[in-house]
Amino acid sequence: MILEAAILKVKPESSSDFESGFRGASRLLAEAPGYIGHELHKCVERADQYLLLVRWNSISDPIAGFRKSEAYRTWQELLSPWCETETSGEHYVEIRT
Amino acid sequence: MILEAAILKVKPESSSDFESGFRGASRLLAEAPGYIGHELHKCVERADQYLLLVRWNSISDPIAGFRKSEAYRTWQELLSPWCETETSGEHYVEIRT
């Protein structure tokens, strides 16, 4: 299992529109091959910052799959009016602790 | 529920020692009031980077509680030999999407 983590910076005063837009766009993510689940979190300290966590079956699902798909281009187009950063992030494997 | 997310940068070639040290220190976190659970993830793209996610009952648990405790000072001392960054991060609330 791979965790993708992205810090999303939204334009000032755009939080509400971004959250509505994200709800509409999130089905594109949920339909991607290898998608397990996602969480969107809003930062307490920085009003315009979000943390998107997406769980995938394997590293190839987001990198060779979703990011190269037509669905990803649509996803970016839907969110770009409010986002100041790319909506894809870094990838992690869990360490047992 | 509050999610604390911290990007931890460890010193070069220190991953294995850091992971062992983290296992020893993690009980300090797990015993903190308001602690729900944690995950440690190792970055695929950057060998010396980790993402620590800690779930707390409320924002006051990490900020007014753990961070001001003796346990937190011990936690920092245990991890500082390998970490190049502080081991506390930003706080987030989940948005329903």
Written as one string, the DSSP assignment of chain B is -EEEEEEEEBPTT-HHHHHHHHHHHHHHHHTSTTEEEEEEEEESS-TTEEEEEEEESSTHIIIIIGGGSHHHHHHHHHHTTTBSS-S--EEEEEE--
Residue by residue, pLDDT tens for chain B (97 residues) are 999 999 999 999 999 999 999 999 999 999 999 999 999 999 999 999 999 999 999 999 999 999 999 999 999 999 999 998 777 799 999 999 8
Q: Name the stretches of chain A with pLDDT < 50.
A: none
Structural domain contains residue A60: yes
The pTM (predicted TM-score) of the whole model is: 0.95
Structural domain contains residue B59: yes
Expressed as residue numbers, the domain containing A6 is 2-92
ipTM of the complex: 0.94
CATH number, position A48: 3.30.70.100
pLDDT of residue A18: 96
A88: Cβ contacts below 8 Å, ≥ 6 apart:
A4, A6, A62, A67, A72
Of B3, B23, B43, the CB nearest to A97: B23
Cross-chain Cβ contact A95/B51 below 8 Å: no
Q: List residues of B whose CB lies inside 8 A of any A CB.
A: 2-3, 5, 19, 22-23, 26, 38-46, 49-51, 53, 59, 90-95, 97
Q: How far is A30 from chain B (nearest CA, A)?
A: 11
What is the CB neighbour count within 10 angstroms for residue A96?
A: 7
Q: Is the dihedral of CA B58, A13, A31, A57 positive or negative?
A: negative
Q: How far is B42 from chain A (nearest CA, A)?
A: 5
Structural domain contains residue A97: no
Count how many domains chain A has.
Answer: 1
Structural domain contains residue B83: yes
The two three-digit tokens of residue B74, written as one number: 């011990």
Structural domain contains residue B97: no
Q: Which residues of A touch B97 (CB under 8 A)?
A: 19, 22-23, 26, 38, 40
